[in-house]
Amino acid sequence: MAPAALEREDKERDAAFKQALHGKTAEGRAGFTAMLGKDHKAQKEAVDEYFKHWDNKPHTTETEETREARRAEYATLTRHYYNLATDLYEYGWSQSFHFCRFSKGEPFRQAIARHEHYLALKMGIQEGQRVLDVGCGVGGPAREIVKFTGCNTVGLNNNDYQIERATKYAKQEKLDHKLSFVKGDFMQMSFPDNSFDAVYAIEATVHAPSLEGIYTEIFRVLKPGGVFGVYEWLMKDAYNNDDPHHREIRLGIEEGDGISNMEKIEVALAAIKAAGFELELNEDMADRPDEYPWYWPLSGELKYMQSIWDFPTLVRMTHIGRGIAHRFVGCLETIGLAPRGTQKTADSLAKAADCLVAGGREKLFTPMYLMVARKPKA
Ligand SMILES: CC(C)=CCC[C@@H](C)[C@H]1CC[C@H]2C3=C(CC[C@]12C)[C@@]1(C)CC[C@H](O)C[C@@H]1CC3
């Protein structure tokens, strides 16, 4: 079959799966209530498809073959991850699926928006420019950056459910004349060469099987002189893959966050140069001496509570809060209100949260390695 026909077939299959699993939840309710409206059979399929990559594959026995098997299936792995996690993300975080820096007294949403503004500022995104958001989630950052800069943005995503939600939110905010969404695989984008003035990716390209591969594809769609900005998820220099504790942290993050192959900082720097970019800026924003670390909302440590409004966020992540949530979701599953696999998904996210916090605290991992790079003019 010709590649275009194969692609069409894949798109139809994914759209049909989205319809079966999410039904009308994509158009209506968000977060926790949306979770209860899933088709149980389709949810089981998504859970089985996702967790087959990790079940019975502990960090102690990880081999290059297990990693390669995940890399080979990065697209379905990521798609199923977001089929399972999107509602939990919207319920427990916001419509911007990324971390950020926090300053004292700064409300959560303001800190999240500031992180987005910072990237747009460092990239120098201008009014009227054509911009691509790679791995746009449900469009929270794209909406903010369109409002902040006045640019025109296309969001690229390989998950139909997220695209449907992103489209709905853009319409609700009356931004649909400047912001649209396209379904596609970021490793082989459907855009012609030299299409965009700027491309950004916020905590999304970590889902790629190869950083050099994704950066090369971004380079292709950028116009000469165009700019690429990214907040990358990376293991830091202190990470030692031969240390079982370090590996357990990396694997916990990968399993709970839909990642097939997370790399070290040095690999990302080499990849961006190998793709042809001129690197203008690189900094691990997690290394700034912030009083409130990026991972505080996941830490469950009450010392980070700044106002009474932080209490629910923090208490949910304490041992007691986790235990209650685990049993509550288990009960919902037993009585048939929540589909099978909801508890397994929630537990895996909770484990990822522990590993993210440990990775942050032990300075082994960063979710905000900032790189700004340019495609040369000639
Ligand atoms: C997966 C990538 C590359 C980016 C997403 C970053 C974050 C938005 C998520 C990483 C871990 C997530 C967790 C939650 C929300 C979204 C994240 C912070 C929860 C707080 C959602 C509510 C659950 O009860 C607990 C989750 C812990 C992990």
DSSP string, 217-279: HHHHHEEEEEEEEEEEEEE-TT--TTSHHHHHHHHHHHHHHT-S---BHHHHHHHHHHTTPEE
Q: Which atom of ligand 1 is nearest to the CA of 233?
A: 3
Q: What is the pLDDT of residue 374?
A: 98
ipTM value > 0.90 = yes
The model's pTM? 0.94
Q: Are 176 and 170 in contact (CB under 8 A)?
A: yes
What would you report as the CA-atom Rg of the chain, rounded to the nearest whole angstrom?
20
Q: Is the pLDDT confidence value at 260 over 90?
A: yes
Q: Using the mean position of ligand 1's atoms as its centre, give its distance from the Cα of residue 89 in Å.
A: 6
CA distance 45 to 307: 41
Q: Using the mean position of ligand 1's atoms as its centre, give its distance from the Cα of residue 193 in Å.
A: 34
Q: Using the mean position of ligand 1's atoms as its centre, give its distance from the Cα of residue 91 in Å.
A: 10
Q: Which atom of ligand 1 is nearest to the CA of 203?
A: 3
* Ligand 1 pocket mutation pick from 84, 97, 102, 327 by most atoms within 8 angstroms of CB: 97
Which phi-psi region, left, alpha or beta, contains residue 324 (left: φ > 0; alpha: ψ -120 to 50)?
A: alpha
Q: What is the pLDDT of residue 3?
A: 59
Q: Is the pLDDT confidence value at 30 over 90?
A: no
Q: Is the pLDDT confidence value at 13 over 90?
A: no
- Between residues 60 and 169, the one the model is more confident about: 169
- Between residues 21 and 185, the one the model is more confident about: 185
Q: Whose CA is nearest to atom 21 of ligand 1?
A: 92
Q: Whose CA is nearest to atom 3 of ligand 1?
A: 203
| The dihedral sign for the CA sequence 356, 233, 199, 79 | negative
Q: Are 135 and 201 in contact (CB under 8 A)?
A: yes
Alpha helices in 73-134 (DSSP H): 74-92, 108-123
Q: Is the pLDDT confidence value at 130 over 60?
A: yes
Q: What is the pLDDT of residue 6?
A: 58
CA distance 130 to 152: 5
Q: Which atom of ligand 1 is nearest to the CA of 97?
A: 8
Tokens of 224: 């000469």
- Between residues 185 and 44, the one the model is more confident about: 185
- Between residues 196 and 23, the one the model is more confident about: 196
Q: Is the pLDDT confidence value at 16 over 90?
A: no
Which phi-psi region, left, alpha or beta, contains residue 354 (left: φ > 0; alpha: ψ -120 to 50)?
A: alpha
CA distance 167 to 169: 6
- Mean pLDDT (whole number) for 11-22: 79
Q: What angle do CA 9, 14, 20 make, to 5 degrees?
A: 125
3 state SS of 52: coil
Q: Using the mean position of ligand 1's atoms as its centre, give its distance from the Cα of residue 194 in Å.
A: 34
Q: Is the pLDDT confidence value at 112 over 80?
A: yes
- Between residues 19 and 276, the one the model is more confident about: 276
DSSP label of 280: E
Q: Using the mean position of ligand 1's atoms as its centre, give its distance from the Cα of residue 282 in Å.
A: 25
Q: What is the pLDDT of residue 292?
A: 96
Spell out the domains of the chain, with CATH numbers in brackets.
112-280+362-374 (3.40.50.150)
Return the minimum-mean-pLDDT range out of 176-190, 314-328, 349-363.
Answer: 314-328
| The dihedral formed by the CA atoms of 87, 91, 96 and 97, expressed in degrees to the nearest 10 | -60
Q: What is the pLDDT of residue 217?
A: 98
Pocket of ligand 1 (CB under 6 A): 88-89, 92-93, 97-99, 203, 206, 233, 257-258, 298, 346, 349-350, 352-353
The sheet with strand 179-183 has its strands ordered as 179-183, 152-157, 130-134, 196-202, 222-235, 365-374, 278-284
Q: Is the pLDDT confidence value at 1 over 60?
A: no
Q: Using the mean position of ligand 1's atoms as its centre, give its distance from the Cα of residue 222 in Å.
A: 30
Closest CA to 182 of 157, 204, 207, 200: 157
Q: Are 341 and 44 in contact (CB under 8 A)?
A: yes
CA distance 59 to 245: 9
Closest CA to 133 of 156, 151, 107, 149: 156
Q: Whose CA is nearest to atom 15 of ligand 1?
A: 89
Q: What is the pLDDT of residue 143?
A: 98
Q: What is the pLDDT of residues 296-333, one digit of tens each?
A: 999 988 889 888 888 888 888 888 888 898 898 889 88
Q: Is the pLDDT confidence value at 184 over 80?
A: yes
Reported confidence tier of residue 339, pLDDT bands at 50, 70, 90 = confident
Q: Using the mean position of ligand 1's atoms as its centre, give its distance from the Cα of residue 298 in Å.
A: 8
- Mean pLDDT of all residues in the chain? 92
Q: Using the mean position of ligand 1's atoms as its centre, give its distance from the Cα of residue 23 in Å.
A: 23
CA distance 146 to 154: 10
Close Cβ partners of 210 (under 8 Å, ≥ 6 residues apart): 71, 261, 271
Q: What is the pLDDT of residues 44-88, one digit of tens each?
A: 888 999 999 888 777 788 888 889 999 999 999 999 999 999 998
Q: Are 244 and 215 in contact (CB under 8 A)?
A: no
Q: Which residue is associated with the tokens 């201008």?
A: 126
φ, ψ of residue 334 to 5 degrees: the values are: -60, -45
Which residues on neighbouring strands pair with residue 261, listed in sequence order?
Answer: none
CA distance 338 to 35: 7
Beta carbons within 10 angstroms of residue 37's beta carbon? 15
Tokens of 112: 């999240």
Closest CA to 158 of 113, 205, 227, 195: 205
Q: What is the pLDDT of residues 207-253, one digit of tens each?
A: 999 999 999 999 999 999 999 999 999 999 999 999 999 999 999 99
